[in-house]
Structure 1
Amino acid sequence: MDDSSVYEGECPSCRSPRRFAFQLGPGFVPPPAYGGPEPSRIIDPAEFLTMGERAAGYAVVRPDASQRDRAGAREAAADAVAAVEEVLKFLPPSADAVPEAAFSSDPGRELYAADPARFQRDRLEAELQEYRQALSALNDA
Protein backbone atom coordinates (compact mmCIF):
# COMPACT_ATOMS: atom_id res chain seq x y z
CA MET A 1 0.00 0.00 0.00
CA ASP A 2 1.31 3.45 -0.96
CA ASP A 3 1.51 5.89 1.97
CA SER A 4 1.15 8.99 -0.19
CA SER A 5 -1.69 10.98 -1.66
CA VAL A 6 -1.25 12.96 -4.86
CA TYR A 7 -3.45 15.79 -6.08
CA GLU A 8 -3.04 17.20 -9.59
CA GLY A 9 -4.82 19.90 -11.49
CA GLU A 10 -4.66 23.24 -13.18
CA CYS A 11 -4.16 26.41 -11.16
CA PRO A 12 -7.38 28.43 -11.49
CA SER A 13 -5.42 31.70 -11.48
CA CYS A 14 -2.52 31.12 -13.86
CA ARG A 15 -3.61 27.88 -15.57
CA SER A 16 -0.26 26.23 -14.81
CA PRO A 17 -0.31 22.53 -13.99
CA ARG A 18 0.11 21.83 -10.27
CA ARG A 19 0.95 18.63 -8.43
CA PHE A 20 0.93 18.14 -4.67
CA ALA A 21 2.15 14.92 -3.08
CA PHE A 22 1.52 14.30 0.62
CA GLN A 23 3.24 11.63 2.65
CA LEU A 24 0.63 9.97 4.84
CA GLY A 25 1.26 8.45 8.22
CA PRO A 26 0.50 4.81 8.95
CA GLY A 27 -3.11 3.84 9.46
CA PHE A 28 -6.39 5.58 8.84
CA VAL A 29 -7.33 8.53 11.05
CA PRO A 30 -11.11 8.92 11.15
CA PRO A 31 -12.66 12.37 10.95
CA PRO A 32 -12.85 14.82 12.55
CA ALA A 33 -9.18 14.22 13.45
CA TYR A 34 -6.66 15.82 11.12
CA GLY A 35 -3.74 13.47 11.61
CA GLY A 36 -1.90 10.94 13.70
CA PRO A 37 0.12 11.51 16.86
CA GLU A 38 2.84 13.64 15.27
CA PRO A 39 2.51 17.37 14.52
CA SER A 40 1.71 18.29 10.94
CA ARG A 41 4.55 19.01 8.57
CA ILE A 42 2.20 20.88 6.22
CA ILE A 43 -0.04 23.06 8.38
CA ASP A 44 1.44 25.13 11.16
CA PRO A 45 -0.08 25.56 14.64
CA ALA A 46 -1.45 29.06 13.97
CA GLU A 47 -3.36 27.81 10.95
CA PHE A 48 -4.88 25.02 13.03
CA LEU A 49 -5.80 27.47 15.78
CA THR A 50 -7.46 29.76 13.25
CA MET A 51 -9.41 26.81 11.80
CA GLY A 52 -10.54 25.81 15.28
CA GLU A 53 -11.69 29.29 16.20
CA ARG A 54 -13.55 29.62 12.91
CA ALA A 55 -15.23 26.23 13.43
CA ALA A 56 -16.19 27.16 17.00
CA GLY A 57 -18.04 30.16 15.61
CA TYR A 58 -20.29 27.76 13.69
CA ALA A 59 -20.87 25.54 16.73
CA VAL A 60 -23.61 27.75 18.15
CA VAL A 61 -27.29 27.05 17.51
CA ARG A 62 -30.49 28.89 18.30
CA PRO A 63 -33.08 27.11 20.47
CA ASP A 64 -35.39 26.83 17.44
CA ALA A 65 -32.66 25.42 15.17
CA SER A 66 -33.49 22.57 12.82
CA GLN A 67 -31.98 19.11 13.23
CA ARG A 68 -29.80 19.84 10.22
CA ASP A 69 -28.50 23.04 11.85
CA ARG A 70 -27.84 21.15 15.08
CA ALA A 71 -25.93 18.45 13.18
CA GLY A 72 -23.85 21.12 11.46
CA ALA A 73 -23.10 22.75 14.80
CA ARG A 74 -22.00 19.38 16.25
CA GLU A 75 -19.71 18.84 13.26
CA ALA A 76 -18.25 22.32 13.67
CA ALA A 77 -17.66 21.75 17.39
CA ALA A 78 -15.92 18.45 16.64
CA ASP A 79 -13.74 20.23 14.06
CA ALA A 80 -12.87 22.91 16.66
CA VAL A 81 -11.82 20.21 19.13
CA ALA A 82 -9.73 18.40 16.52
CA ALA A 83 -7.99 21.62 15.43
CA VAL A 84 -6.88 22.55 18.96
CA GLU A 85 -5.76 18.97 19.55
CA GLU A 86 -3.52 19.43 16.50
CA VAL A 87 -2.04 22.64 17.95
CA LEU A 88 -1.21 20.81 21.17
CA LYS A 89 0.83 18.25 19.19
CA PHE A 90 3.37 21.02 18.50
CA LEU A 91 4.13 21.35 22.22
CA PRO A 92 7.24 19.52 23.36
CA PRO A 93 6.39 17.45 26.48
CA SER A 94 7.96 19.81 29.01
CA ALA A 95 7.28 23.10 27.21
CA ASP A 96 4.84 25.73 28.44
CA ALA A 97 4.22 27.06 24.92
CA VAL A 98 4.46 26.12 21.27
CA PRO A 99 8.00 27.05 20.19
CA GLU A 100 8.35 29.90 17.73
CA ALA A 101 10.22 27.58 15.34
CA ALA A 102 7.01 25.54 14.85
CA PHE A 103 5.44 28.35 12.82
CA SER A 104 6.28 27.71 9.18
CA SER A 105 3.85 29.90 7.23
CA ASP A 106 3.88 33.67 6.89
CA PRO A 107 0.34 33.99 8.31
CA GLY A 108 1.30 31.63 11.14
CA ARG A 109 4.41 33.61 12.05
CA GLU A 110 2.38 36.83 11.94
CA LEU A 111 -0.29 35.44 14.25
CA TYR A 112 2.34 34.16 16.65
CA ALA A 113 4.20 37.48 16.65
CA ALA A 114 0.98 39.39 17.30
CA ASP A 115 0.08 37.33 20.39
CA PRO A 116 2.48 34.54 21.47
CA ALA A 117 0.37 33.97 24.61
CA ARG A 118 -2.32 32.35 22.44
CA PHE A 119 0.03 29.40 22.11
CA GLN A 120 0.71 28.80 25.80
CA ARG A 121 -0.14 25.31 27.02
CA ASP A 122 -2.59 26.40 29.72
CA ARG A 123 -4.47 28.70 27.34
CA LEU A 124 -4.68 26.03 24.63
CA GLU A 125 -5.85 23.40 27.12
CA ALA A 126 -8.53 25.78 28.44
CA GLU A 127 -9.70 26.47 24.88
CA LEU A 128 -9.79 22.73 24.16
CA GLN A 129 -11.85 22.13 27.31
CA GLU A 130 -14.29 24.87 26.29
CA TYR A 131 -14.73 23.33 22.84
CA ARG A 132 -15.18 19.84 24.31
CA GLN A 133 -17.87 21.15 26.66
CA ALA A 134 -19.65 22.84 23.74
CA LEU A 135 -19.52 19.59 21.77
CA SER A 136 -20.84 17.62 24.75
CA ALA A 137 -23.71 20.07 25.18
CA LEU A 138 -24.59 19.78 21.49
CA ASN A 139 -24.47 15.99 21.70
CA ASP A 140 -26.82 16.06 24.70
CA ALA A 141 -29.29 18.43 23.05
Structure 2
Amino acid sequence: MAPLARTSTEAHLFMDLRPCDCGETASSWSSSVIELGDDLGSRYSGTCPSCGTEREFVFRLPDDIVLPVVGQVVYGDGAPSELLDPGEWLWVADRYAGAVPAQAAALDAEGRQEVRSRISAAIAAMDEVLAFVPAGADEVPAESFWSDLGRSVRDEEPGRFARDRLQVIRDTYQRILEEIDSSV
Protein backbone atom coordinates (compact mmCIF):
# COMPACT_ATOMS: atom_id res chain seq x y z
CA MET A 1 0.00 0.00 0.00
CA ALA A 2 1.29 3.44 -0.90
CA PRO A 3 2.12 5.69 2.05
CA LEU A 4 -0.19 8.58 2.91
CA ALA A 5 0.88 12.08 1.87
CA ARG A 6 -1.37 14.41 3.85
CA THR A 7 -0.42 17.48 1.80
CA SER A 8 1.53 18.15 -1.38
CA THR A 9 4.01 20.09 0.78
CA GLU A 10 4.70 16.94 2.79
CA ALA A 11 5.04 14.88 -0.40
CA HIS A 12 7.53 17.35 -1.90
CA LEU A 13 9.58 17.45 1.29
CA PHE A 14 9.68 13.64 1.36
CA MET A 15 10.89 13.57 -2.26
CA ASP A 16 13.49 16.26 -1.53
CA LEU A 17 14.90 14.07 1.25
CA ARG A 18 15.15 11.05 -1.08
CA PRO A 19 17.88 11.84 -3.63
CA CYS A 20 18.43 9.94 -6.85
CA ASP A 21 20.98 7.11 -6.72
CA CYS A 22 23.49 9.54 -8.25
CA GLY A 23 22.99 11.88 -5.26
CA GLU A 24 21.01 14.60 -7.04
CA THR A 25 18.19 16.05 -4.95
CA ALA A 26 16.73 18.50 -7.47
CA SER A 27 14.07 17.48 -9.94
CA SER A 28 11.07 18.92 -11.71
CA TRP A 29 8.11 16.79 -10.80
CA SER A 30 4.91 16.38 -12.75
CA SER A 31 1.96 15.07 -10.78
CA SER A 32 -1.30 13.36 -11.49
CA VAL A 33 -4.17 11.95 -9.47
CA ILE A 34 -4.49 8.19 -9.87
CA GLU A 35 -6.68 5.36 -8.58
CA LEU A 36 -5.14 3.08 -5.97
CA GLY A 37 -7.73 0.37 -5.58
CA ASP A 38 -10.59 2.05 -3.71
CA ASP A 39 -8.45 5.06 -2.80
CA LEU A 40 -7.16 8.04 -4.71
CA GLY A 41 -3.47 8.67 -4.94
CA SER A 42 -0.98 11.04 -6.41
CA ARG A 43 1.86 10.08 -8.69
CA TYR A 44 4.91 12.29 -9.01
CA SER A 45 7.29 11.56 -11.84
CA GLY A 46 10.39 13.27 -13.09
CA THR A 47 13.79 12.84 -14.67
CA CYS A 48 16.97 13.35 -12.69
CA PRO A 49 18.73 16.38 -14.23
CA SER A 50 22.17 14.89 -13.46
CA CYS A 51 21.97 11.29 -14.66
CA GLY A 52 18.68 11.09 -16.59
CA THR A 53 17.15 8.40 -14.37
CA GLU A 54 13.36 8.35 -14.44
CA ARG A 55 12.00 8.66 -10.90
CA GLU A 56 8.51 8.12 -9.51
CA PHE A 57 6.79 8.42 -6.15
CA VAL A 58 3.22 7.28 -5.44
CA PHE A 59 1.25 8.37 -2.38
CA ARG A 60 -2.26 7.79 -1.06
CA LEU A 61 -4.34 10.94 -0.76
CA PRO A 62 -6.14 11.68 2.51
CA ASP A 63 -9.91 11.42 2.78
CA ASP A 64 -10.01 15.08 3.82
CA ILE A 65 -7.74 17.25 1.71
CA VAL A 66 -5.77 19.91 3.63
CA LEU A 67 -5.72 22.99 1.43
CA PRO A 68 -2.72 25.32 1.53
CA VAL A 69 -3.16 28.60 3.38
CA VAL A 70 -1.38 31.67 2.02
CA GLY A 71 1.48 32.66 4.32
CA GLN A 72 1.44 29.40 6.31
CA VAL A 73 3.33 26.15 6.00
CA VAL A 74 1.26 23.08 6.78
CA TYR A 75 2.65 19.59 6.31
CA GLY A 76 -0.10 17.51 7.85
CA ASP A 77 -3.30 17.24 9.81
CA GLY A 78 -2.11 16.75 13.39
CA ALA A 79 -1.65 12.98 13.12
CA PRO A 80 1.84 11.47 12.91
CA SER A 81 3.31 11.37 9.42
CA GLU A 82 3.63 8.12 7.49
CA LEU A 83 6.32 9.63 5.26
CA LEU A 84 8.83 11.20 7.62
CA ASP A 85 9.73 10.08 11.11
CA PRO A 86 10.21 12.50 14.03
CA GLY A 87 13.99 12.60 13.60
CA GLU A 88 13.63 13.67 9.98
CA TRP A 89 11.13 16.35 10.99
CA LEU A 90 13.51 17.71 13.65
CA TRP A 91 16.35 17.69 11.12
CA VAL A 92 14.14 19.71 8.73
CA ALA A 93 13.21 22.19 11.49
CA ASP A 94 16.90 22.60 12.39
CA ARG A 95 17.82 23.35 8.77
CA TYR A 96 15.09 25.95 8.28
CA ALA A 97 15.72 27.68 11.61
CA GLY A 98 19.49 27.49 11.14
CA ALA A 99 19.18 29.48 7.92
CA VAL A 100 17.69 32.47 9.77
CA PRO A 101 20.08 35.32 10.60
CA ALA A 102 20.30 36.49 14.23
CA GLN A 103 19.04 40.01 13.50
CA ALA A 104 16.21 38.99 11.19
CA ALA A 105 13.90 41.83 12.23
CA ALA A 106 16.46 44.35 10.89
CA LEU A 107 16.31 42.95 7.35
CA ASP A 108 14.56 44.66 4.46
CA ALA A 109 11.05 43.55 3.50
CA GLU A 110 12.26 40.86 1.09
CA GLY A 111 14.70 39.46 3.65
CA ARG A 112 12.02 39.42 6.36
CA GLN A 113 9.67 37.55 4.03
CA GLU A 114 12.33 34.89 3.40
CA VAL A 115 12.93 34.58 7.16
CA ARG A 116 9.18 34.38 7.76
CA SER A 117 8.95 31.54 5.27
CA ARG A 118 11.82 29.61 6.87
CA ILE A 119 10.57 30.07 10.43
CA SER A 120 7.04 29.09 9.41
CA ALA A 121 8.44 25.89 7.90
CA ALA A 122 10.45 25.23 11.09
CA ILE A 123 7.33 25.72 13.24
CA ALA A 124 5.32 23.35 11.03
CA ALA A 125 8.12 20.75 11.22
CA MET A 126 8.19 21.05 15.04
CA ASP A 127 4.42 20.50 15.08
CA GLU A 128 5.08 17.30 13.13
CA VAL A 129 7.64 16.09 15.69
CA LEU A 130 5.21 16.85 18.53
CA ALA A 131 2.51 14.80 16.76
CA PHE A 132 4.61 11.69 17.51
CA VAL A 133 4.42 12.23 21.29
CA PRO A 134 1.51 10.06 22.50
CA ALA A 135 -1.09 11.61 24.79
CA GLY A 136 0.15 11.40 28.37
CA ALA A 137 3.74 10.60 27.32
CA ASP A 138 6.78 12.74 28.00
CA GLU A 139 8.73 11.98 24.85
CA VAL A 140 8.68 10.53 21.35
CA PRO A 141 8.88 6.72 21.67
CA ALA A 142 12.05 5.11 20.28
CA GLU A 143 10.02 2.87 17.96
CA SER A 144 8.75 5.97 16.10
CA PHE A 145 12.09 6.34 14.31
CA TRP A 146 12.36 4.25 11.15
CA SER A 147 14.67 6.15 8.78
CA ASP A 148 18.46 6.18 8.91
CA LEU A 149 18.45 9.98 9.16
CA GLY A 150 15.78 9.98 11.87
CA ARG A 151 17.58 7.39 13.97
CA SER A 152 20.90 9.22 13.62
CA VAL A 153 19.31 12.50 14.80
CA ARG A 154 17.81 10.69 17.79
CA ASP A 155 21.01 8.78 18.59
CA GLU A 156 23.00 12.03 18.51
CA GLU A 157 20.91 13.60 21.27
CA PRO A 158 17.89 11.58 22.49
CA GLY A 159 16.90 14.26 25.01
CA ARG A 160 15.86 16.55 22.15
CA PHE A 161 12.73 14.42 21.77
CA ALA A 162 11.28 15.21 25.20
CA ARG A 163 7.88 16.89 24.88
CA ASP A 164 8.84 19.88 27.06
CA ARG A 165 12.02 20.54 25.12
CA LEU A 166 10.26 20.22 21.76
CA GLN A 167 7.55 22.64 22.90
CA VAL A 168 10.13 25.21 24.08
CA ILE A 169 11.84 25.12 20.69
CA ARG A 170 8.53 25.41 18.84
CA ASP A 171 7.47 28.34 21.06
CA THR A 172 10.81 30.07 20.47
CA TYR A 173 10.33 29.82 16.72
CA GLN A 174 6.82 31.21 17.14
CA ARG A 175 8.20 34.22 19.07
CA ILE A 176 10.75 34.85 16.31
CA LEU A 177 7.94 34.80 13.77
CA GLU A 178 5.92 37.26 15.84
CA GLU A 179 8.96 39.58 16.11
CA ILE A 180 9.38 39.47 12.32
CA ASP A 181 5.68 40.22 11.82
CA SER A 182 5.75 43.10 14.30
CA SER A 183 8.77 44.70 12.60
CA VAL A 184 6.83 45.31 9.38
When normalised by structure 1's length, the TM-score is 0.89
User: Percentage identity across aligned positions?
Assistant: 36
Q: Select the residue among 104, 110, 121 that pairs with 2:152.
A: 110
User: RMSD of aligned C-alpha atoms?
Assistant: 1.9
CA displacement 1:68-111 (0-9 Å, x = unmatched): 00110111111111010000001110111101111111111111
Equivalent AA in structure 2 for residue 120 of structure 1: A
Q: Residue in 2 aligned with 1:121?
A: 163
- C-alpha distance in 2 between matches for 1:57 and 1:93: 29
Cα shift at 1:11: 4.3
What SS does the corresponding residue of 1:39 show, helix, strand or coil?
coil
Matched, 1:72 2:109: no
Amino acid at match of 2:46: G
Paired residues in the alignment total: 141
1:8 aligns with 2:50: no
**8 Å contact from structure 2 (residues 105, 179) kept in 1:** no
Considering fraction of residues, name the structure with more helix: 1
Gaps of 5+ in 2: 1-32, 35-39
User: In the superposition, relative to structure 1, how do residues 64 and 110 fare at CA in structure 2: closer, same or farther (>3 Å)?
Assistant: closer
Instruction: Check 1:94–1:29 CA distance in 2 against 1; reply closer, same or farther (3 A cut).
Output: farther
Deviation of 1:123 (Å): 0.3
Task: Please list the CA deviations of residues 97-133 of structure 1 after superposition, one character each: whole Å capped at 9, or x if unmatched.
Answer: 1011111111111111121101000000000110110
Counterpart of 2:73?
32
Letter matched to residue 172 of structure 2: E
Name stretches of at least 5 consecutive residues in structure 1 with no aligned partner: none
How big is the shift at 1:9?
2.5
Q: Is the 8 A contact 1:88 1:121 kept in 2?
A: yes
Q: Which amino acid aligns with 2:66?
A: F
| Corresponding position of 1:88 | 130
The amino acid that maps onto 2:138 is D
**1:29 touches 1:36 (CA, 8 Å); kept in 2?**
no
1:43 to partner: Cα distance: 0.7
Aligned-partner Cα distance in 1 for 2:109–2:42: 35
SS at match of 1:70: helix
Whether 2:143 is the aligned partner of 1:101: answer yes
Q: TM-score, normalised by structure 2?
A: 0.69
1:135–1:64 CA distance, 2 compared to 1 (3 A): closer
Distance 1:131 1:5 in 2: 32
Partner secondary structure for residue 78 of structure 1: helix
SS of the counterpart of 1:97? coil
Higher relative contact order (CA 8 A, sep 6+): 1
